[in-house]
């Protein structure tokens, strides 16, 4: 079974975090929600979510992907945490995908993972990533690095993660179960 880490920092974007966790779990992917500090973690709109574990307890564990929700100041806290940067670099060095949405692509940029890549983010959060081609697409997948724009693209982002980890057929099955195809046909 594929295993994904979703780190939460104070001020995370609730819609993004919950969508990532929910959609991946519906697809049969194990998701570990880790807090940078204590638990529960409070999002940018006051929602409190209990983490499965503190990030520090996962130092030697293996994951198939790390998916970062955005939100402010949550994304800043992720960017400033050396453990997060090291984990991201370690996964990429092993050829594993990493993903970030909204403000969180700046975490990937700060870790040096967006150099020479195409990426997207909430407007303005990649302005300090001069070696990155910033585009306005809802979701961008560039050789194992997946980025997305914001809360309104969270479902598309999470479904792209499913496709990356479990394949396009798993995504289509999940979209059918969610009645997403019927909505698109209207």
87 vs 47, 61, 183, 184, CA distance in Å? 26, 10, 38, 37
Name the residue with tokens 């929602």: 47
CB 124 within 8 A of CB 78: no
- Counting every residue written for the chain, the total comes to 186
| 112 Cβ contact list (under 8 Å, min separation 6) | 89
Ordered alpha helix ranges (H), 27-81? 74-80
Name the residue with tokens 């990649």: 126
CA–CA distance, 37 with 149 (Å, rounded to integer) = 26
Partners of 142 in the beta sheet?
A: 145
| 40 Cβ contact list (under 8 Å, min separation 6) | 48, 49, 50, 51
Residues noted as catalytic: 102
């Amino acid at each position: 079974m594929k295993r994904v880490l979703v780190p939460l920092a104070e001020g995370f974007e609730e819609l993004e975090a919950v969508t990532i966790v929910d959609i991946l779990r519906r697809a049969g992917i194990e998701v570990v929600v880790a807090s940078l500090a204590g638990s529960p973690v409070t999002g940018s709109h006051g929602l409190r979510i209990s983490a499965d574990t503190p990030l520090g307890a996962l130092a030697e564990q293996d994951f198939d992907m790390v998916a970062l929700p955005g939100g402010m100041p949550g994304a800043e806290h992720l960017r400033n945490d050396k453990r997060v940067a090291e984990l991201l670099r370690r996964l990429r060095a092993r050829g594993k995908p990493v993903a970030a949405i909204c403000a969180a692509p700046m975490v990937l940029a700060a870790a040096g993972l967006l150099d020479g890549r195409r990426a997207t983010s909430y407007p303005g959060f990649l302005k300090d990533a001069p070696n990155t081609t910033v585009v306005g697409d809802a979701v961008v997948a560039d050789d194992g690095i997946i980025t997305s724009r914001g809360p309104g693209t969270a479902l598309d982002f999470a479904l792209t993660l499913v496709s990356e980890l479990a394949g396009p057929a798993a995504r289509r099955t999940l979209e059918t179960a969610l009645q997403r195809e019927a909505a698109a046909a209207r």
